[in-house]
Amino acid sequence: MSSNREIENLIELMAKLPGLGPRSARRAVLHLIRKRALLLTPLADMMQTVAATARECLNCGNVGTSDICDICDSEKRATGELCVVEDVADLWAMERSGMFKGRYHVLGGTLSALDAVGPQELRIPRLIDRVASEHITEVILALNATVEGQTTAHYIADQLEGQVLLTSLAQGVPIGGELDYLDDGTISAALRARKAL
């Protein structure tokens, strides 16, 4: 309780963010109030800007501030490679690796019979359109290595078979990973995909 309605409201809103509970929201708000000029005001302004301008790219589903996102719009990235990811967070993770120079397609989730998510609920029809119309030569299915992710990858592979080269991310031991701490499935996958030195 901060004994003040506005501050209390701000704490309640902050506590709705993933990774922040009521306790850390209180700490964050006190920190914001102490650093009002340096942090609270710029943060409020930037939130206003993003709230006013953020939108999904009409082409790939990435989040940006224009109808076509910076990646789709970039001439440097106009290759024939299309990387299919579940979520914008996955796209950002791929971008951090700095390895991929093609463009993306964000599905917006995975197929799920339980939650009644079919291909129409995802951005799958749009993916099929793009493959047909954008001179795509390779579709990299970078979906999560979960049951749902792999089911979705199989469905997409079925739809696109014969039209384009389909690849998926390699599975195996993560860099820095210790065998003792890895699950059986990962070790099995790494063994199946073993390579000659």
Shortest approach of a copy of itself to residue 192 CB, angstroms?
31
Task: Retrieve residue 54's tokens.
Answer: 């953020």
Shortest approach of a copy of itself to residue 186 CB, angstroms?
22
For a copy of itself, which is the closer residue by CB, 69 or 166?
A: 69
Residue pair 83/136 in contact (Cβ under 8 Å)? The answer is no
Shortest approach of a copy of itself to residue 171 CB, angstroms?
23
Shortest approach of a copy of itself to residue 10 CB, angstroms?
5
For a copy of itself, which is the closer residue by CB, 106 or 190?
A: 106
- Whole-number Å distance between alpha carbons of 46 and 36: 14
Task: Retrieve residue 16's tokens.
Answer: 């709705």
Give the SS3 label for residue 153.
Answer: helix
Shortest approach of a copy of itself to residue 165 CB, angstroms?
25
User: Could you list the residues that contact a copy of itself (CB under 8 A)?
Assistant: 1-4, 6-7, 9-10, 13-14, 16-20, 24, 26-33, 36, 39-44, 46-51, 53-54, 62-65, 69-71, 88-89, 92, 95-96
Residue pair 109/121 in contact (Cβ under 8 Å)? The answer is yes
For a copy of itself, which is the closer residue by CB, 76 or 192?
A: 76
For a copy of itself, which is the closer residue by CB, 60 or 127?
A: 60
For a copy of itself, which is the closer residue by CB, 110 or 166?
A: 110
Concatenating the DSSP letter of every residue in 50-114 gives: HHHH-EE-TTT--EESSSS-HHHH-GGG-SSEEEEESSHHHHHHHHHHT---SEEEE-SS--BTT
Residue pair 119/155 in contact (Cβ under 8 Å)? The answer is yes
